[in-house]
Amino acid sequence: MTSQILTVDSPVHASDVQPHHDQAHPQSAEAVAVDRQRSRLIEAMKSQYQLDQQVKFLHLQAEADSLLRQLQSLKQQRLALETPISSQ
């Protein structure tokens, strides 16, 4: 399977984030930006995992279809060999 690199669509900078003014849990703008970037990365990883599973499923489905066609072809060949030719 090929390796893939995940990228975040838009980089998050500390200047892009409004500071969080919570007395109980003070966070710097940089910490908020890192948290948001981490959340985006996790979401990207989740969707990438789902895509990976879809690709695996499609490959398995294609392989099953191919094997079914091979089996049907072998059955037809065997039937053709067992059936006597009545044209003689």
DSSP string, 8-43: -SS---GGGSPPB--SSS-B-HHHHHHHHHHHHHHH
Provide the residue ranges of all domains of the chain, joining segments of one domain with +. 30-77
Does residue 16 carry a pLDDT above 50?
Answer: no
Q: Mean pLDDT over residues 57-74, rounded?
A: 96
pLDDT, tens digit, 9 for 90 and up, residues 22-51:
455 567 888 898 899 989 888 887 777 788
User: Strand, coil or helix: what is 68?
Assistant: helix
